[in-house]
C-alpha cells in the first residue's frame, strides 16, 4: 500500500460514525481493566487464592483475629480456610469470591462493625467445619446426652479458634 492509500484508509475509518463510540468504549474498558488489575495487585489479590493464613491478615481489621489464631490450639491443626470455607473446590472458591466482594466493599467504604462480626452464612460454614473435624466427639455427645443436632458448637466455644 502506498502512503497515500494508507492515509486514505485511516481517514475513512476515523470518519465512520461508529469510530468515536468504539474509541470511548475502548478507553473506558482499558481504564476499568487497568484500575481493576492495579487494585488486585495492590490488595495482594493472588494471596487470597491460597490457603495461607497470612492472606487473611492483609486487612488491618483482621490482624487481631490472626494474632489470636496464632496463640490458639487450632493454630497447629487448622488454617482460616479449614474453618471459614466449605469443603470442595467450587464451594470453597465461591465462598471466597462472595466474601471477597463483601470485604472489598466494606473495607473500601469503611462500612463494617469494629470489631468485625461473622455473618449467619459464614457462621453456618464454621459450625459445619467444627462438626466435621470433631465428628467423633459430637456423635458421642449426641448419643450420651440426647442433645439435638440444632445445638451449636460455636455458641459455647466461639472464641476457641481465635483465643477470645
Phi, psi for residue 86 in degrees, rounded to 5 = -75, 165
pLDDT (tens digit, 9 = 90+) per residue, 123-137? Answer: 999 999 999 999 998
CA 43 – CA 55 distance, rounded (Å): 10
* CATH class (in words) of the domain with range 53-156: mainly alpha
pLDDT (tens digit, 9 = 90+) per residue, 12-56? Answer: 666 677 678 888 999 999 999 998 888 788 878 777 888 888 888
Q: How far is CA 132 from CA 24, 81, 108, 159, in A?
A: 53, 14, 34, 18
Domain boundaries, the chain: 1-42, 53-156
Name, in order, each residue with C-beta under 8 angstroms of 44's C-beta and a sequence gap of 6 or more: 55, 58
Answer whether 122's CB lies under 8 Å from 91's CB. no
Mean pLDDT of 87-100: 92
Amino acid at each position: 500500500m502506498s502512503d497515500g492509500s494508507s492515509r486514505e484508509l485511516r481517514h475513512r475509518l476515523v470518519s465512520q460514525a461508529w469510530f468515536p463510540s468504539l474509541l470511548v468504549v475502548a478507553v473506558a474498558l482499558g481504564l476499568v481493566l487497568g484500575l481493576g488489575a492495579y487494585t488486585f495487585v495492590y490488595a495482594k489479590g493472588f494471596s487470597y487464592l491460597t490457603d495461607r493464613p497470612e492472606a487473611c491478615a492483609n486487612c488491618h481489621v483482621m490482624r487481631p483475629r490472626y494474632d489470636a489464631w496464632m496463640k490458639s490450639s487450632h493454630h497447629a491443626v487448622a488454617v482460616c480456610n479449614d474453618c471459614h470455607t466449605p469443603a470442595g473446590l467450587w464451594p470453597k472458591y465461591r465462598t471466597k469470591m462472595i466474601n471477597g466482594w463483601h470485604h472489598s466493599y466494606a473495607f473500601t467504604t469503611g462500612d463494617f462493625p469494629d470489631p468485625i462480626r461473622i455473618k449467619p452464612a459464614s457462621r453456618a460454614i464454621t459450625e459445619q467445619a467444627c462438626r466435621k473435624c470433631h465428628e467423633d466427639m459430637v456423635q458421642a455427645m449426641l448419643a450420651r446426652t440426647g442433645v439435638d443436632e440444632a445445638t451449636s458448637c460455636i455458641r459455647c466455644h466461639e472464641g476457641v479458634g481465635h483465643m477470645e
